[in-house]
Amino acid sequence: MIKKAIAVVVGIIIIQFIVKTLHSMEFLKYVYNHTPGPCRIVPGQGIGYEDMETLPNGLTLITSGIVMPTASPKVHAYHKKHNRRGRIYLFDFNQPDKGIEELTIVGDQFNQSDFGPHGISLWKDNKGKVTVMVVNHDSTGDTLEKFVFMAKDKQLKHVHTYRDPSIHFVNDVAMDSENSFYFTNFAYYKNGLLFLLEYIIPLAYGNLIYYDGKAYHKQYDGFVTINGLMLSHDQKYLYTGETIPQRFHTFTRQKNGTLSRYQEFNAKTALDNPTLDKDGNVLVGSHPILWQLMAHLDNPETPASSQVIKLHMKDGVVTKMTEVFSDNGHTLYGSSVASLYKDAMLVGTVYHKLMYCEVRYID
Ligand SMILES: *[C@@H]1O[C@H](CO)[C@@H](O)[C@H](O)[C@H]1NC(C)=O
Ligand SMILES: *[C@@H]1O[C@H](CO)[C@@H](O)[C@H](O)[C@H]1NC(C)=O
């Protein structure tokens, strides 16, 4: 009798777990297509433009050639087939027809043949000097690379490599000065199977760290997978999102860098990288159907739907969410970021193409 009761309870727990997992994979979700105006693919190699950031003058820096530490053998084969290299591209919103151009990286301390760029952050000082930080997954582990952007020469001058035990499995970085920054550790395990267990259980080993120019300070942990980062224009707030379980987080920021949790917003879509529009609203490249994203990350040739959402912000709080762009995967696979400048938008992807849209209508 007791044995039977235990079997029933265990059975219910297992069924619940399976249903919950199937639900969270979004097997029953449907994606419609819409754009804010005419869109076109920007010519290029088309094997990924994972993150980007736009300067106030419309110049946009884009990372390409991500190598996730958890990458599957199919991803490595895809990279090989397309002669992947880590690159930073430049796109000028004032001359969209010129397309993208690769920036030359200069500096003896930097090995460009071992470059796997992921998240990017730009910092412009009051003299106009632009410092660039890029998350790098290379063959020796994760680093944060600092460059100075020489716009006239189309160059990135390498200035420093940050290495630390707390720089472990990094996704994105956000500078709050030339020498201090926040970064997210997406997860802990870099082995594909252990990583799968990590987010299914979930162990929630993702964290958010601040480097104040001298030391690394953990701000928050307990995230299942913590992704892109962006500071508000006035630096009072920090924004980030979790891909699983799809929550957008806002933090208030003290002048010394310390964060406090402020709002948690359920976006009901797998969040990737945030950027800001001129009014301080947040655009997030996201993945509306999780099982498609999983299949796509395992094999980049498999389509996955794309989405750009806009989070309308007021004093660090999401007041409304609208959808700017949606594609069921017929044109653009796996959107990871979008940037808006005047009446145009760029949408980047993890392993696929770059899209340029004229923005005729946006809510
Ligand atoms: C640069 O990286 C490549 C690929 O990992 C490696 O074979 C080479 O030895 C590295 N060069 C230096 C100078 O470290
Ligand atoms: C940062 O400043 C706040 C008060 O503004 C203070 O409570 C906190 O201890 C400071 N943190 C550090 C690391 O100095």
Ligand 2 contact, 215 CB (< 6 A): no
Q: Pocket around ligand 1: residues whose beta carbon is below 6 Å from it? A: 111, 113-114, 139
Q: What is the dihedral of CA 354, 250, 185, 188, to 10 degrees?
A: -110
Point out the least confidently predicted range of 8-17, 122-131, 229-238: 8-17
Ligand nearest to the CA of 214: 2
Atom of ligand 2 nearest to the CA of 256: 1
Please say whether the beta carbons of 316 and 250 come within 8 A.
Answer: yes
**pLDDT tens per residue, range 269-325:** 999 999 999 999 999 999 999 999 999 999 999 999 999 999 999 999 999 999 999
pLDDT (mean) for 42-50: 97
- Host H or E run for residue 250: strand 247-253
Whether the upstream peptide bond of residue 245 has omega within 30° of 0, thus cis, is yes
Ligand nearest to the CA of 137: 1
pTM for the complete prediction? 0.95
CA of 259 to the centre of ligand 2 (A): 9
pLDDT band for position 205 (cuts 50, 70, 90): very high
CA of 261 to the centre of ligand 2 (A): 15
Based on the residue annotation, tell me whether 118 is a catalytic residue of this protein.
Answer: yes
The active-site residue out of 34, 79, 82, 118 is 118
Q: Long-range pairs for 191-195 at CB < 8 Å and ≥24 separation?
A: 191/70, 192/70, 192/72, 195/70
Percent of the chain residues topping a pLDDT of 90: 91
pLDDT at residue 24 is higher than 90: no
φ/ψ of 291, rounded to 5, equals: -65, -35
CA of 257 to the centre of ligand 1 (A): 36
- Report helix, strand or coil for 283: strand
Count CB atoms within 10 A of the CB of residue 322. Answer: 12
How far is the C-alpha of 349 from the C-alpha of 286, rounded, in Å?
10
Q: Which residues contact 281 (CB under 8 A, 6 or more apart)?
A: 310, 311, 312, 313
**pLDDT tens per residue, range 184-197:** 999 999 998 999 99
The pLDDT mean for the chain works out to 96
By most ligand atoms within 8 Å of CB, the mutation choice from 113, 136, 158, 161 for ligand 1 is 113
- Report helix, strand or coil for 221: strand
Whether the upstream peptide bond of residue 202 has omega within 30° of 0, thus cis, is yes
CA of 312 to the centre of ligand 2 (A): 29
How far is the C-alpha of 160 from the C-alpha of 173, rounded, in Å?
15
In this predicted structure, what is the pLDDT of residue 333?
98
Atom of ligand 1 nearest to the CA of 114: 2
DSSP-derived letter for residue 34 is: B
Ligand nearest to the CA of 260: 2
Bridge-based pairing of strands 155-162 and 39-41 is unpaired
At position 101, the amino acid (one-letter code) is E
Atom of ligand 1 nearest to the CA of 111: 1
By most ligand atoms within 8 Å of CB, the mutation choice from 84, 109, 114 for ligand 1 is 114
In this predicted structure, what is the pLDDT of residue 25?
87
pLDDT at residue 118 is higher than 90: yes
pLDDT at residue 227 is higher than 90: yes
Closest to 184 measured CA to CA, from 149, 141, 222? 222
In this predicted structure, what is the pLDDT of residue 359?
98
How far is the C-alpha of 277 from the C-alpha of 362, rounded, in Å?
12
φ/ψ of 302, rounded to 5, equals: -85, 125
Domain 34-358 has CATH 2.102.10.10: no
Ligand 2 contact, 113 CB (< 6 A): no
Ligand 2 contact, 83 CB (< 6 A): no
By most ligand atoms within 8 Å of CB, the mutation choice from 209, 254, 260 for ligand 2 is 254
Residue with structure tokens 């949606």? 326
pLDDT band for position 1 (cuts 50, 70, 90): confident
- Host H or E run for residue 297: helix 290-298
In this predicted structure, what is the pLDDT of residue 2?
84
CA of 194 to the centre of ligand 1 (A): 28
Please say whether the beta carbons of 168 and 216 come within 8 A.
Answer: no
CA of 255 to the centre of ligand 2 (A): 8
pLDDT at residue 175 is higher than 90: yes
